[in-house]
């Protein structure tokens, strides 16, 4: 399976969410994908992810710049976990105070996907109809989100990154 980074980046840009709703042009969002490898000494190396293959780890880096005329608050930024990929837990970063969440189907009583902080849990209905609450794993996540804790000042940028392992 080969995933083209241009479609991954385009999807991520389209998925970016802003709360409260603001015009897309007011928060300029950019995303890049890099294949992560290590050299003989164990130092990480990064190469542009033009194409990715199973077994590779991809680091997504996002930058959001406030181009509005004043500071904005209540901003949430979202990136995808592509089909065939698993979020690498513990490798997400934000350079501002933010709450990190994952999206997935965690409760069969709620239609569709929902957001959860980590560690996420999910409800599984057993064959006998009983319910089991178990940890939700990286294979259950379809997107990540940071809910920014501070306002983004005019002309300021914020950065987030996360990693996905391609199965």
Contact 31, 79 (CB under 8 A): yes
| Model pLDDT, residue 26 | 79
The pLDDT value given to residue 27: 86
Q: What CATH number does the domain located at 3-101+139-166 have?
A: 2.60.40.1170
In whole angstroms, how far apart are CA 61 and each of 23, 48, 109, 112? 22, 11, 34, 27
Neighbours of 9 (CB within 10 A): 19
20 in Cβ contact with 133 (< 8 Å): no
Angle at CA of residue 10, ends 17 and 55, nearest 5° = 105
Per residue of the chain (167 residues), what is the pLDDT tens digit? 444 443 443 334 334 444 444 444 578 999 999 999 999 999 999 999 989 999 999 999 999 999 999 999 989 999 999 999 999 999 999 999 999 999 999 999 998 999 999 999 999 999 999 999 999 999 999 999 999 999 999 999 999 999 999 99
Q: Rounded distance, CA 19 to CA 27, Å?
A: 11
CB 73 within 8 A of CB 91: no
Distance CA(89)–CA(91), nearest Å, equals 6
Domain regions of the chain by residue span:
3-101+139-166
Whether 163 contacts 88, CB under 8 Å: yes
């Amino acid at each position: 399976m080969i995933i083209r980074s241009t479609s991954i980046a385009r999807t991520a840009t389209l998925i970016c969410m802003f709360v409260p709703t603001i015009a897309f042009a007011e928060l300029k969002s950019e995303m890049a994908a890099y294949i992560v490898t290590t050299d003989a000494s164990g130092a990480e190396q990064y190469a542009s992810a033009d194409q990715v293959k199973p077994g590779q780890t991809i680091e997504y880096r996002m930058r959001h710049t406030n181009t509005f005329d004043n500071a904005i608050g209540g901003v949430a930024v979202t990136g995808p976990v592509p089909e065939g990929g698993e979020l690498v837990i513990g490798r997400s970063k934000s350079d501002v105070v933010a709450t990190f969440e994952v999206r997935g189907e965690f409760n069969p009583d709620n239609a569709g996907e929902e957001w959860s902080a980590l560690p996420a849990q999910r409800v599984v209905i057993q064959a006998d109809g009983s319910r089991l609450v178990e940890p939700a794993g990286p294979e259950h996540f379809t997107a990540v989100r940071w809910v920014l804790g501070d306002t983004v000042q005019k002309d300021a940028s914020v950065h987030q990154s996360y990693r996905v392992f391609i199965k």
